Each structure stands twice: as structure tokens, then as C-alpha cells.
Amino acid sequence: MVHITSRWVSVLFSKDKSLNQDHAVLQMAFKEGQLPLLTPYKMRQFELSHRVVLAPLTRQRSYGNIPQPHAILYYSQRTTKGGFLISEATCVSETARGYLDTPGIWTKEQVEAWKPIPNGQAPISSTDKGLSNQVQSNDIDVAQFTPPRKLTTQEIPLVVDDFRVAARNAIEADRVALRLSPFANYMESGDSNPKALGLYMAESLNKYKILYCHMVEPRMKTAGEKFYSPHSLVPMRKAFKGTFISAGGYDMEDGNNAVAENRTDLVAYGRLFLANPDLPKRFELNAPLNKYNRETFYTPDPVLGYTDYPFLETTS
């Protein structure tokens, strides 16, 4: 199944969980020598066969902000029976777009066809301070940003309504969840007390009974690099009562340990899944992994670095 993430809000597929039942599943798997990442997990009506999730990855290949046929192949390559995929970020409005060639979900037409209609409006912000150029997570390309327009007080309700419309569209598709990155410092947006912020958000989300809470590890303060951090996601994981997905620099061993130690329910993989469309199978066989090519993370090519990574059977 594929879950669409919206830009700065998340869209999704749903789940309920019984900790006792899940614990029993893991205990049985341990006895049988099964990898924790490859144990089943129940998400409401969805029976997941494993816990390896495709993380939401901006790929910048939706030309003119319209999803292209090559995206169908890209996601299809990474599907497995009972697997769970999260799509790339999707804008909630015309003024919410931060990158070129990303899709949207602010109209009924987009919900049905996933075809956002672009125009030339400047992005909006709480300030008119321009964002400095950012080296993207491939450590090669430099993103340049249009200076934002500062919101007026009277416009704030309109932005709230943008998110309301996007959320309503997502609810109609039975796809509502949230991704949080309280410890991140991307694009000069670090928080003064990220631990308190993350804990507050995790606790507050319980009353909405959303499908899952997806959080990025504190060690991933900036795109693509791990840093030492005294913090962890464990307090947020304990506070949130639904499905918890962790992301941020995991390899197979890290993921297995996180599930086995009940620090998360599911583990999202980005760069490894990007380069290995059959990642769950490779974990199962402990097979070598394809190396990702940073130079092609954000190139507009519909094949190169997108759908041309080989499957295990083609490399053996």
C-alpha cells in the first residue's frame, strides 16, 4: 500500500495496535530465529507482512508539479505483499511548495488524479527573510529558494484552511497520519526545546486517533548526516498510543534492534530503499546492498537513479 505524505502535513493509511498481541508475535519470531524487521504487524484492517517501510523521499520528478507515469513504476518496484510505502511530500496549497516538481493535494482533482496545477505565486512564511541556499542531502546540488512573502494577520485563517482542506481530502481517502522532526535543523528551522516539543505533539495526537506517528531520530539534525545526540525518540514512542514509525540513518541491524527493544513498531528506510527496490528480500537473505548514487537523487531524469537500480536476481 502507498501512503501519500502532504507537505508539512501527512496523508496516509490506517492502523490499530495491541501491544500485548504484537509482543507475542515478536516473541514467537525470536523463537523461530526470524528477523524482527520481517515479522508481521497489524495496522487496523491492513495486515503488514513486515516492518520495513519506504520513507517519504523528495525526488523532484513530478514535472510541472504533476505526477508522471514513471512514478508508478518507481513505487511498483518497491511494493511487496503486505508492505507499506510512504510517498514523497505533497503540497497542501499553491503557496506551500518548497521545491520544484513536487505534487499537491489541495483540490478534489488532485485527490482523484494527483495532478496539482502550478502557478507563479511566491511561497508564504511568518517572515519575509529569505532562506539561504542549501546543499541538498546528496551533498552535490544546491537548492535556491524564492524569497517568501510575509503573511498578514488576516491571512492566517486562510493558511489554516489550506491544511483543513488537505486533511479533509486525506480523510476521505482514509489516509491520515503525521510525520514529526522536532530535532531537525533543516532550512534554519531548529527549535529551542525540541524534546519538549516532540513530547507535547506525540501526547496531543492521541485524541485524534490517527493511523501513525512517524518521527525522525535526533541524530539526523541535518539532511543526510548522523550526529551524536543525548536524546532519543523513546519518550515520544511511549507517549503516542498508536503505531510508531522511526526513521533516520537506520541499517538492518539498527532496525532489528529498535523493533526488538520495542522502541518502534515500524522502521522507515530512505536511501537504502531508494537504491534497493527489493530491500526486504535483501534483509531476509542478508544479501549485499546496491550503493546509492547521490548525484542522481534529485535529477529530473525519469530513469537514471530512479527506476534503474537492479533487483537481486539481476545482480546475482
Task: Read off the amino acid at residue 269.
Answer: Y
Q: Residue 162's pLDDT is what?
A: 80
Q: Residue 84's pLDDT is what?
A: 93
Q: Residue 12's pLDDT is what?
A: 35
Question: Which of 53-67, 209-223, 237-251, 302-316 shows the highest mean pLDDT?
Answer: 237-251
* pLDDT tens-digit readout, 91-142: 777 777 777 888 777 666 666 644 322 233 566 777 777 767 666 555 556 6
Q: Residue 19's pLDDT is what?
A: 55
Question: Which of 25-29, 137-141, 153-157, 186-190 shows the highest mean pLDDT?
Answer: 153-157
Specify the pTM. Answer: 0.76
* pLDDT tens-digit readout, 214-270: 999 987 655 556 666 778 899 999 999 999 999 988 999 999 999 999 999 999 999
Q: Residue 23's pLDDT is what?
A: 64
Asked whether 198 and 180 are in contact (CB, 8 A), the reply is yes
Q: Residue 2's pLDDT is what?
A: 46
* pLDDT tens-digit readout, 163-214: 787 777 766 655 678 888 888 776 677 788 989 999 999 999 999 888 899 9
Domain positions in the chain = 2-315
- Class (C level, CATH) for 2-315: alpha beta
| Higher per-residue confidence, 25 vs 116 | 25
Q: Residue 117's pLDDT is what?
A: 23
pLDDT greater than 60 at residue 17 = no
